[in-house]
């Protein structure tokens, strides 16, 4: 494959980009240095990405993984729903999966194949349209299929491991693997697949059902979420996993944390397992508030809450903090 000198000239000229060399030229997707991540996270906070790459397909992503130096960290993000990016940004390579990973297909009236960037709610809608029942819970899971696989996400009594047939993932060398649930060590909000493997697709199983009944269940779940969760605020979904035998929100409430604030961050008055950016919060405010909640719950109940929100990047005062944002990008739209 000949290298396009025009693309090479247009690529970010940073030490990290230069380390990737000609591999970055072969990548067809967009590449940018200092990309503003606060624009795309649901919390609307966080520093920039040192180098963001948006591969157009699995082959593109494989090039990135194979070329990445072993000492360079890799972070994969989707729509930024259950994610807190720290104020110093994300050193290394940030991969954002886009349209090329968002396809959803129904198969044989019982199965759904979805790319890792497919919205969980859209998977539920496609299942509804094809009369496939059993996947309605996904309309209550914010984010994408890749994130759902990574944390064995669930809601309303079901989770990914209950409906998963196979997952597809690239290993650090860029090789594609097909994984069965028994290969993945799935448990409550946990997946044992190594963090440096990147999910690219999944096949889920349902069962034949009445589209109208499925639609009614989707409407019911959406109404329940609207009534009980602060979904129209700047939030990141459920903050803490439910400890065995407990509801996280009840422990937080019993610890007196409802409405608690640090800076511009607040524990939701509507649902105490949600943190909110009231408009001026930093990532440091949100993380500090979450840690204060954990401290108070431990003090009052003896239970140690585990973060469900994924926290990535470095604080603003970290030596590796990324200081400049650059929204310019090169390459094809991913």
Instruction: For residue range 281-301, list pLDDT tens digits in order.
Output: 999 999 999 999 999 999 999
User: Which CA distances in Å does 137 have to 64, 179, 219, 278?
Assistant: 34, 22, 11, 28
Q: Reply yes or no on whether 292 is catalytic.
A: no
Q: CA torsion 193→196→199→200, rounded to 10°? A: -150
Q: Which residue out of 136, 168, 287, 308 is catalytically annotated?
A: 308
Q: Which residue out of 189, 258, 306, 311 is catalytically annotated?
A: 189
* pLDDT band at residue 228 under the 50/70/90 scheme: confident
Residue 185 confidence (pLDDT) above 50: yes
In this prediction the pTM is 0.91
d(CA 57, CA 192): 25
Per DSSP, helices labelled H in 46-205 are: 58-67, 120-129, 145-151, 160-163
Place of tokens 């948006």: 54
| Contact call for residues 155 and 163 (beta carbons, < 8 A) | no
| Contact call for residues 263 and 282 (beta carbons, < 8 A) | yes
Helices 120-129 & 211-228, crossing angle to 10 degrees? 150
d(CA 253, CA 248): 9
Residue 9 confidence (pLDDT) above 80: no
Q: Which residue out of 86, 113, 234, 238 is catalytically annotated?
A: 238
Q: Reply yes or no on whether 308 is catalytic.
A: yes
Q: Reply yes or no on whether 299 is catalytic.
A: no
pLDDT by residue (tens digit) across 250-273? 999 999 999 999 999 999 999 999
Q: pLDDT above 70 covers what percent of the chain?
A: 94
User: Which CA distances in Å does 39 have to 45, 81, 86?
Assistant: 8, 12, 13
* pLDDT band at residue 5 under the 50/70/90 scheme: low
Residue 329 confidence (pLDDT) above 90: no
Mean pLDDT, rounded, of the chain: 93
């Amino acid at each position: 494959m000949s290298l396009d000198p025009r693309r090479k000239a247009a690529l970010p000229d940073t030490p990290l980009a230069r380390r990737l060399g000609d591999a970055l030229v072969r990548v067809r997707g967009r590449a940018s240095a200092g990309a503003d991540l606060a624009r795309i996270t649901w919390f609307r906070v966080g520093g920039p990405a040192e180098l963001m790459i948006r591969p157009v397909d699995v082959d593109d992503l494989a090039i990135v993984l194979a070329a990445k130096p072993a000492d360079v960290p890799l972070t994969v993000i989707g729509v930024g729903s259950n994610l807190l990016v720290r104020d110093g940004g994300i050193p290394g390579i940030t991969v954002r999966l886009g349209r090329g990973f968002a396809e959803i297909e129904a198969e044989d009236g019982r199965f759904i194949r979805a790319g890792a960037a497919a919205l969980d709610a859209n998977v539920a809608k496609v299942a509804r349209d094809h009369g496939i029942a059993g996947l309605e819970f996904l309309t209550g899971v914010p984010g994408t299929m890749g994130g759902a696989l990574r944390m064995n996400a669930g809601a309303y009594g079901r989770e990914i491991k209950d409906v998963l047939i196979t997952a597809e993932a690239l290993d650090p060398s860029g090789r594609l693997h097909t994984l069965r649930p028994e290969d993945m060590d799935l448990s409550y909000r946990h997946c044992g697949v190594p963090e440096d493997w990147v999910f690219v697709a999944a096949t889920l199983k349902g069962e034949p059902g009445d589209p109208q009944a499925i639609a009614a269940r989707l409407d019911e779940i959406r109404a329940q979420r609207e009534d009980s969760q602060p979904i129209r605020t700047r939030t990141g979904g459920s903050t803490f996993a439910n400890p065995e035998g407990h509801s996280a929100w009840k422990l937080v409430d019993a610890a007196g944390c409802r409405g608690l604030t640090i800076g511009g961050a607040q524990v939701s008055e509507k649902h105490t397992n949600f943190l909110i950016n009231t408009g001026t919060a930093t990532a440091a405010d949100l993380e500090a508030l979450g840690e204060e909640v954990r401290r108070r719950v431990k003090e009052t109940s003896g239970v140690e809450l585990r973060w469900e929100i994924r926290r990535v990047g470095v604080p603003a005062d970290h030596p590796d903090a990324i200081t400049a944002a650059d929204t310019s990008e090169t390459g094809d739209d991913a």
